[in-house]
Amino acid sequence: MTSPTPDAVDTDLLIIGAGPTGLYAAYYAGFRGHRVAVVDSLPELGGQITAMYPEKQILDVAGFPSIKGRDLVEGLVSQAGTARPTYLLDRTASTLAQDDDGVTVGLDDGTTVRAGAVIITAGIGKFSPRPLPAQADWLGRGLAFFVPSFVPYAGKDVVIVGGGDSAFDWAVHLEPVARSVTLVHRRDAFRAHERTVQQVRDSSVEIVTKAEVTAINGGATVESVDITVDGVTTTRPAQAIVAALGFIADLGPMQQWGLEVLKRHIVVDPSMQTNLPRVFAAGDITEYPGKVRLIAVGFGEAATAVNNATVAMDPSAKVFPGHSSEA
């Protein structure tokens, strides 16, 4: 793994986004014989999985009935390593310029990357968690937005706020670790997967609906929370609070590149090409009729993007190179 200092980088394919789809695209670029560079605004590989869900069990990746997030990323990094990619981490792709021979992308640290083609695999783009109204200055003092490790929650009373997949996933995994887990949601309907919701209902987790956390109490760290239901407020012990209220995401500087965008997603055709020549996209950031946002789908889109980018760089090349098992 290399991470050059600000300068000029010359490569065949530049991949913007180092999550699962981007890592697989890096591997496949190597399979097609390309030099490849990968840029990501996060300091570590793995995208959202590394930042937010390293302990989560992922159930919809082909070949793995269940695999922990960090293990999936580790395998993808190892696979991508066969392409000997140049990693440009903790940097944001800021500008894009095109000419007849390729694409030039400027990063926010002054690095310039010259590539034959670009594949955008940036997931939901740059993201920040939605704040908990009662959070005040409790972040890092018992309040967290992500659960990268379950160890700090052992033996604690934990309150999780939210009704989506993250809230329910963390409830499932923290239930056997914590002293108690309470899930608070402002509605009595949930956005989480039905199977996970049922797992939580069947566990010792207490679900409190039509409710809000209206105050966080304590000294140096969180000691309790006030939960209000139908105007009635009760106080209960809590040494840890997880605010799983979703994220505010945007495409950042990419919004100024002239890409066709629909509801924060980049529109692509069946070859995964955007409306800009030599610029492709894959994974959750893409939009087209029938789009399904799964890691498994992103892997296929990455291969499609790399193969079609190959032809964009060299019209004499074939889109389909043959199966890897035939090599």
Q: Where are the domains of the chain?
A: 8-127+247-326, 131-243
CATH number for the domain whose boundaries are 131-243: 3.50.50.60
> Do the first three CATH levels of 8-127+247-326 and 131-243 match, i.e. the same topology?
yes
284 is in an annotated binding site: yes
Question: And the tokens for 172?
Answer: 């499932």
Residue 60 annotated as part of some ligand binding site: no
Residue 230 assigned ligand-binding role:
no
Sequence-distant (6+) residues with CB within 8 A of 262 are 287
pLDDT at residue number 324: 67
pLDDT at 125: 67
Residue 146 has a pLDDT of 82
Say if residues 296 and 18 touch (Cβ distance below 8 Å).
no
Amino acid at position 232, single letter: V
The answer to whether 18 and 45 have CB atoms below 8 angstroms apart is: yes
256 is in an annotated binding site: no
And the tokens for 46? 């793995």
Q: pLDDT tens, position by position, for the chain (327 residues)?
A: 445 455 899 999 999 999 999 999 999 999 999 999 999 988 889 988 887 777 778 888 999 999 988 899 999 999 999 999 999 998 999 999 999 889 999 999 999 999 999 999 998 766 677 888 877 789 889 999 888 788 999 999 999 999 988 899 899 999 999 999 999 999 999 998 898 999 999 999 999 999 999 999 999 999 999 999 999 999 999 999 999 887 776 788 998 999 999 988 999 999 999 999 999 999 999 999 999 999 999 999 999 999 999 999 999 999 988 776 655
pLDDT at 318: 92
**What is the structure's pLDDT at 279?**
98
Q: Which amino acid is at 259?
A: L
Tell the burial category of 91 from Cβ atoms under 10 Å away from its Cβ (0-12, 13-18, 19+): buried
Nearest to 185 by CA among 203, 166, 199: 166
Predicted confidence at residue 32, as pLDDT, reads: 96
137: how many CB neighbours lie within 10 A of its CB? 8
Q: Per DSSP, which regions of 47-101 are E strands?
A: 57-58, 67-68, 86-89, 93-99
Quote the pLDDT of residue 6: 53
- What distance in Å separates the CA atoms of residue 179 and residue 6, rounded to the nearest whole number? 48
Report the interhelical angle of 165-174 vs 194-201 (nearest 10°): 40
pTM of model > 0.85? no
The residue count of the chain comes to 327
For residue 44, the tally of other CB atoms under 10 A from its CB is: 14
The Cα–Cα gap between 203 and 130 comes to 27
21 is in an annotated binding site: yes
Q: Is 269 annotated as a binding residue?
A: no
In contact, 148 and 54? CB cutoff 8 Å: yes
pLDDT of residue 308: 98
Looking at CATH, the fold of the domain delimited by 8-127+247-326 is given as FAD/NAD(P)-binding domain (3.50.50)
Q: Binding site annotation covers 31? A: no
How many Cβ atoms from other residues are within 10 Å of residue 146's Cβ?
16
Using the CB atoms, write b or e for 165-204: b if 16+ within 10 Å: bbbbbbbbbbbeebebbbbbbeeeebebeeebbebbeeee
DSSP 198: H
pLDDT value of residue 5: 53
Q: Is 288 annotated as a binding residue?
A: no
* Non-local CB neighbours of 290 within 8 Å, separated by 6+ positions: none
CA distances from 235 to 141, 218, 274 (A): 18, 12, 52
